[in-house]
Amino acid sequence: MNGKFVTVEGCDGVGKSTQVRLLKERLEREGIDAVFTREPGGTPIAEKIRGIILDSDNSEMDGLTELFLYEASRRQHTKEIIEPALSKGKLVICDRYIDSTLAYQGYGRGLNVDMIRKLNEWAMGDVKIDLTLFLNVSSEEGFSRKGGASREDRLEKEKSEFYERIYDGFLRIAEKEKRFKKIDASGDKFSTHEKLYAYLKDNGYLNL
């Protein structure tokens, strides 16, 4: 595939969606053609699955059920949006992808990490991630930024220990994956945006 696939990862409240939006707005102003998407979601089918996953009424959902829903959403999203865009040589920037599943369902829920890696591979097919921008802010600071957990989000009802395990999981993944670039996102959103943009530009991701 001739395009480039960039994922943006981090704990809840670190500003991933904001940073993806700022990048989208800037690249549009500069006339750079890129596809912006998110997980879970990105397609009509995947968005419906997202609704099931995050619905706070589904409190009895089993950990494996949750994992399979994420992977089902990912497969549809990858085949319908990501793979075609990369095949056309486009830059694809995704808010969350496989590393969130490893961090949340693997390290957070305690499900088998090797099993999750295999499921991720099946869901991704031939797609490979070129770069992961990890917004390095702890889960505690992330929730503080957003003013606490959302009552509408099933996952945000979990205890703080769950999110501490997730942050530790992200750090472990970052140590093993060369594609990970840690970004200090402790400053304001505009300074973080400049760091992300500069890294993408300096490393040729905006020259497709």
Per residue in 159-196, pLDDT (tens digit) is 778 889 999 999 999 999 999 999 999 999 999 999 99
What is the domain-level CATH number for residue 119? 3.40.50.300
Domain assignment present for 207: no
Domain assignment present for 185: yes
Domain assignment present for 57: yes
Quickly tell me which residue has 């505690």 as its tokens.
140
Domain assignment present for 123: yes
Q: Which own/partner pairs from 14-18 qualify as long-range (CB within 8 Å, at least 24 positions apart)?
A: 14/135, 14/137, 14/141, 14/142, 14/145, 14/185, 15/135, 15/137, 15/145, 15/185, 15/189, 15/192, 16/95, 16/96, 16/135, 17/95, 18/189
Residue 111 pairs in a beta bridge with: none
Contact (CB, 8 A) for 8 and 19: yes
Domain assignment present for 132: yes
Q: Which domain holds residue 31?
A: 4-202
Per residue in 39-81, pLDDT (tens digit) is 999 999 999 999 999 988 998 999 999 999 999 999 999 999 9
Domain assignment present for 208: no
Number of domains in the chain: 1
Domain assignment present for 178: yes
